[in-house]
Amino acid sequence: MTTDEIAAELRARLAVVQAEIARLEQATIQPLSPNFADQVGDLEELATNEGLETAHIHEAEQIIAALARIAAGDYGTCSHCGGDIAPARLAALPTATRCIACAA
Ligand SMILES: [Zn+2]
């Protein structure tokens, strides 16, 4: 996979993640159900959504950082040892910042 192909995949994934964040945000601002019995379920869903949103925001940050590294020309370089990150590792985990040895 070329860096351009990885960048295209990262941008596509970012769009999906951002849409999901927007959807969860929208769900978060809905008023609670009028009856107490339903509010428990509402609050549980809210907690689940918040957890999901945090995970998505974290993923979006990693994707944006990877796109920034691609733009800067240092994508695929281990942030720890400065060596090359194996292409197979980047294919499996395009947002990886460390080579397999340093990640362990
Ligand atoms: Zn390394």
Q: What is the pTM of this model?
A: 0.86
The residue among 75, 51, 55 whose CA lies nearest residue 65 is: 75
Residues at Cβ < 5 Å from ligand 1 ion: 78, 80-81, 83, 99, 102
Question: What is the CA angle 85-87-89, rounded to 5?
Answer: 70
How much is the pLDDT for 72?
A: 96
Could you tell me the distance, in angstroms and rounded to a whole number, from the CA of residue 80 to the centre of ligand 1?
Answer: 5
Calculate Rg over the CA atoms of the chain: 18
Per-residue confidence of the chain (104 residues) as pLDDT tens digits?
Answer: 889 999 999 999 999 999 999 999 998 888 999 999 999 999 999 999 999 999 999 999 999 999 999 999 999 999 999 999 999 999 999 999 999 999 98
* Predicted pLDDT at 47: 94
CA distance linking residue 32 with residue 57, whole number of Å: 24
Distance 12 CA to ligand 1 centre (A): 27
CA 103–ligand 1 middle distance (angstroms): 7
Q: How far is the centre of ligand 1, averaged over its atoms, from the C-alpha of 77 (Å)?
A: 8
pLDDT for the residue numbered 16: 98
Residue 71 near residue 6, CB atoms below 8 Å: no
Find the 2 Cα to ligand 1 centroid distance in Å. 20
Domain ranges of the chain: 3-75
